[in-house]
Structure 1
Amino acid sequence: MSATTARPRMKSPISAAAPARTAPSTRVSGRTFNIVALIVLIVFAIVWLIPSLFALKTSLTDNGTAALGASAILGDWNPTLASYASYFQAGDIWNWYIASAITSVFTAVLTVFFASMAAFALSRLRFRFSNVVLLLIVLGIMIPSQVLIVPIFQELNAMNLLNTYWSVIFPQVPAVIAVFIFKQFFDGIPRELEEAARIDGAGLWKIYWSVVLPLSRPVLAAVTILTFVGVWNNLLLPLFVLSNPNLMTIPVGLATVQGSFGQRYADIQAGAILAALPLIILYLIFQRQIVEGVTGSGLKG
């Protein structure tokens, strides 16, 4: 009878449940990419800030010094608010602010309402020639707005809407790019949510208002703000349809005032900063919604 000797089991030095380690080269490459990206962003930020800071410095400089050139502007360290005071004393800037706010808010609200409904129909409804309709809408992006100024003026004149806020609001409500952005966002919303709402007895309007729009808050905010900014900065349309000084928007009012300034660079830069200041504040408040809406990252999880 032979005795059998049990061989001892050799334990593996590495457990099967041990997590995989990240290669050092991967971590180094990721850190390098972050550093390079940070440097590039800093460079772009500096390139963007230098003209803005120079404009601010010019607006705080005397007109006589500003006329001497950039070296005189940078070498002057006696800031003055005379250029800003001239707008509040001689111009109707508060009326221009109110007119710009009214036209921008109403246009943004109407644009979001009608563009979202059109995009919902193109995204969720099935009808003949839907692709043709979408193609025709997208082709509208290729038409320059300057080409439509004369027909728009004639239509507004026929309806007796010239020199009213509606003459600035109505022509800017049909925004092709807003329809396109909304449709792209609506296409990413799961259809299971719509089907569940239909099972509960919801109709198209209920699905649009209670299901789709609440999920589209980021893109709603983005389109609203982008439309607001576009209308606020629009010079050509208000210049053609408004002649009443009390109804002029900020760009038109500043253009009329700056036309009498001549080479008064400080006053011109002060006017530009006054026009851009509300938009800067608006963007700083809603920058997160703008980024989420444009990138389409509103649906998470």
Structure 2
Amino acid sequence: MSTTTRASTPASTPTTTPATTPAPGARARARARAQAQLEAEHTRRLTLGHGPTGRAVAYATVAVLAAVWALPMVWAVLSSLKSEADVSAAPLSFWPEEGWTTEAYRNVVAAGDLPLWIWNSVLVSTLVTVITVAISALAAYGFSRQRFRGRRGLFALTVAAIMVPPQILIVPLFDQMIAMRLSDTLLGVALPQVVMPLMVIVMKNFFDQIPVELEEAARLDGAGDLRVFWSVILPLSRSILTAVAIFVFISAWNNFLWPFIVTNSPELMTIPVGLGTVKNAYGVQYAQELASAVIGALPLLIVFMLFQRHIIRGFATSGMGGQ
């Protein structure tokens, strides 16, 4: 009787569900998080010191430097809220005699098509940032991980391209945009700005510090080159990608010379070019000039304040932070 009972019971029936196979790069990301925490603690100790005295000196130094850096910006904002008579009065005073006013901002907005210029700047800067980050990341990964003939020569040309002044490329780039029928278009404003050799070098330095063992673990799971780049390298490089994206965005937003040359239509102007056309028949209006500068810098200030931690972390671990 007992023998029949044991035979009728399946002996190989599993009692637990089989474990799922981890996605390629999952173990790599877990190890990277632990390594990032150690690097953050190491960076904090290098910056602030180990003891309370060193940290107090570091905080005091940072406070003084921040005050020196912020003083011109605060003065520009306060001056833009004054009347033209108070801004040009001698001697200068902190408190305006005629009181605070937003007249300069109203005049700047009324003198030009400010919302359209801001939209053009956002569109061009976003397009430049996306294309530049994609090209720089792929090129940096090729220089860092791939071994091919002519690799050193191409990287040497990339380094040498940093020393080429962008002003000498304006004429050939303008001729190229005319040949491609992209002059006086937003695409013609964006495309010549997407190649930045410095960003390739910065990202290559970061990729060189990623352990090769993390990629080998993903390759054992069956991942190819593109899958390793997408699932392992890019998730581990969020800090440097964010830092590069912000610097590229700021550079494209502040670019004045190339958009000024390649565009003729007022509806295609970016905000630096558009604000440069806002003039007054009575000469230089300091309050309006400062109001224009504040309007143009406000989006960049917001972006920097939101992502400043990523910028510091990215460049601190890319070989550009002095470590």
Q: TM-score range with shorter-chain normalisation?
A: 0.7 to 0.9
| CA positional deviation for 1:260 | 5.6
Identity %: 42
Alignment of structure 1 residues 216-235 onto 2, 5 Å: 216-235=237-256
2:91 pairs with 1:76: no
Q: Distance in 2 between matches of 1:273 and 1:206?
A: 44
Select which of 130, 134, 146 maps to 1:113: 134
By how many angstroms is 1:29 displaced? 9.1
Aligned CA distance change for structure 1 residues 237 and 125 (closer, same or farther; 3 Å): same
**CA 1:75–1:220: 2 relative to 1, 3 Å:** same
Matched position secondary structure for 1:55: helix
Matched-pair contact (CA < 8 Å) for 2:111–2:278: no
Match of 1:155, SS?
helix
Does the CA-based 8 Å contact 1:61-1:73 persist in structure 2? no
Q: CA deviation at 1:38?
A: 2.2
Query: 1: CA distance between counterparts of 2:65 and 2:211?
Result: 38
- Which residue of 1 is the match for residue 221 of structure 2? 200
TM-score by length of 2: 0.80
Q: Determine the C-alpha separation between the residues in 2 that align with 1:260 and 1:230.
A: 31
2:23 matched to which residue of 1?
none
Q: Is 1:239 paired with 2:284? A: no
Asked if structure 2 preserves the Cα contact closer than 8 Å seen for 1:67 and 1:263, the reply is no
The unaligned stretches of length 5 or more in structure 1 are: 1-27
Cα distance in 1, alignment partners of residues 282 and 69 from structure 2: 27
Check if 1:248 corresponds to 2:269. yes
Q: Which is worse superposed, 264-273 or 173-182?
A: 173-182
- In the aligned structure 1, how far is the partner of 2:137 from the partner of 2:299? 26
Alignment of 1:10-159 (within 5 A): 30-69=51-90, 71-76=91-96, 78-159=99-180
1:156-209 per-position Cα deviation (integer Å, ceiling 9, x unaligned): 111110111111111111111110111011111111111122222211111111
Indicate if the aligned counterparts of 1:165 and 1:247 stay in contact, CA closer than 8 A. Answer: yes
The one-letter amino acid of 2:128's match is T
- Aligned pair partner of 1:291 in 307, 312, 323: 312
1:95 deviates by: 0.6
- Quote how far apart the aligned CAs of 1:122 are: 0.4
Corresponding residue number in structure 2 for 1:188 = 209
Structure 1 match to 2:20: none
Contact 2:162 2:197 in 1 (8 A): yes
**Counterparts of 2:78 and 2:149, CA distance in 1:** 59
For residue 29 of structure 2, what is the aligned residue in structure 1? none
Q: Secondary structure at the match of 2:124?
A: helix
Consecutive unaligned residues of structure 2, counting only runs of 5 or more, are 1-48, 319-323
State the one-letter code of the partner of 1:264.
Q
Q: Give the Cα–Cα distance (whole angstroms) in 1 for the partners of residues 159 and 311 of structure 2.
A: 22
Classify 1:260/1:174 alpha carbon distance in 2 versus 1 (closer, same or farther; 3 Å): farther
| Residues in 2 aligned to 1:262 and 1:138: alpha-carbon distance in whole angstroms | 45
**Conserved 8 A contact 2:193-2:252:** yes
How far apart, CA to CA, are the structure 1 residues paired with 2:118 and 2:283? 23
- Larger-gyration structure (1/2): 1
1:124 positional shift: 0.5
The change in CA–CA distance for 1:188 and 1:126 in structure 2 (over 3 A counts) is same
Deviations for 1:209-245, whole angstroms, at most 9, x for unmatched residues? 1111111111111111110011000001101101111
For 1:160, what is the secondary structure of its paired residue?
coil
RMSD across aligned C-alpha pairs, in angstroms? 1.9
CA pair 130-249 structure 1, distance change in 2 beyond 3 A: same
SS in 2 for 1:86: helix
1:102-143 CA-partner distances (Å, limit 9, x unpaired): 000010000011110000000000112212211110111101
Between the aligned partners of 2:218 and 2:50, the Cα distance in structure 1 is 48
Cα 1:261/1:153, change in 2 over 3 Å: farther
